[in-house]
Homo-oligomer: A and B are copies of this chain.
């Protein structure tokens, strides 16, 4: 239903998704079109149910009517293949989670497609609206995804190589489907729904068991030439350091991922099962805990500083699941960023910390579907 949007219509949707509600006149200025053209485009999109009039702003002269996306004009399903059971959520066009369930994870694409298809009815059960207007499925996974957001080029976690997962799910479920790398999916959903809406250049660093990263450049997700842009986890931070499961040494992942921090704690004989535990130990003066947090924080900070130097993003968004950035770890990270960035730049790149819950990945996946619905893959 959505494939036949004009290029201008798409541009408009993109603009609104970036800046929030706009009057027709503002839209016209933004896209460089005449008021006349804008009027027609807006009317069409309102008729389609994608836009609707919201606020009326009074000023001098005729008041302007703000148009915004109609959040209930389309619904999306997002699935994360990062955990077992795999979270599965239903979201609207604002990224609001409307329903949530889980499905069994599998390594067999066909079984996944089957599980998704079977899970849909119950996910949509209490939401007849959503059932009718379900416009896309998004899947987040750990691995490399191609430009078309259809094929998984390689996933070590899932043991895949060149798996056309999107096609398989699409064929089984009958719903438009797109897949994406986990960190990239989060970046897209932050651009669409989150705190980076209006920012054209930013990077997301997602801190969890592993470390993920993705870049938005000139308002678009930058996937890299082999889909590997943002593989910050395997930047060498401690040359000659500990061996990494990737085969080389001293990767950021071996020092600053939650998994690494926990392993280091265990090796030091600390009985810690979470970042908060270690932070607690450190705050009571435990030297080992302090050392570990220092090492991890400096490494992450250095990597982020290098990212800033390299790409000069307008925002670094650090998402983390566990613990908080209020403690020693966060302080060290910030310090390390400051000391490793060109002094002239220090403090010029906003660092935003965002604590996220277990829905991040599924929500990100839904964002991929929403992005394809709204804007499409090309400009």
| Chain A contact residues, CB within 8 Å of chain B | 154, 200-201, 213, 215, 217-218, 220, 222-232, 234-236, 239, 246-248, 298, 302, 305-307, 309-314, 339-345, 348-349, 379
Contacts and interface: CB of A to CB of B under 8 A. Distances in A.
A299 to B, nearest CB: 10
Contact of A339 (B220, B235, B248, B379): B248
A240 to B, nearest CB: 10
A331 B299 CA distance: 28
A343 B248 contact: yes
A229 B312 contact: yes
B312 A231 contact: yes
Given A218-B218, A310-B311, A305 B236 contact: yes
A232 B307 contact: no
Top 7 closest A-B pairs, CB basis?
A: A224-B312, A225-B314, A228-B312, A247-B343, A229-B312, A236-B340, A235-B309
Given A248-B343, A307-B310, A311-B311, A302 B236 contact: yes
B342 A231 contact: yes
Q: Which of A246, A298, A309, A312 has the most CB of B within 10 A?
A: A309
Interface SS of chain A: loop
Given A246-B342, A312-B231, A236 B201 contact: no
Contacts of A302: 236, 239
Contacts of A200: 225
Contacts of A340: 235-236, 239, 248
15 contacts: A213-B310, A217-B218, A218-B218, A218-B220, A218-B222, A222-B311, A225-B313, A228-B312, A229-B310, A229-B311, A230-B312, A231-B309, A239-B298, A306-B310, A379-B379
A214 B236 CA distance: 21
Given A201-B224, A339-B248, A232 B309 contact: yes
Nearest to A306: B235
A59 to B, nearest CB: 30
A302 to B, nearest CB: 6
Contacts of A232: 309-310
B226 A348 contact: yes
Nearest to A233: B309
A230 B343 contact: no
Nearest to A239: B302
A342 B248 contact: yes
A246 B339 CA distance: 11
Contacts of A235: 305-306, 309-310, 340
Contact of A310 (B225, B230, B246): B230
Contacts of A247: 342-343
B222 A306 contact: no
Contacts of A239: 298, 302, 340
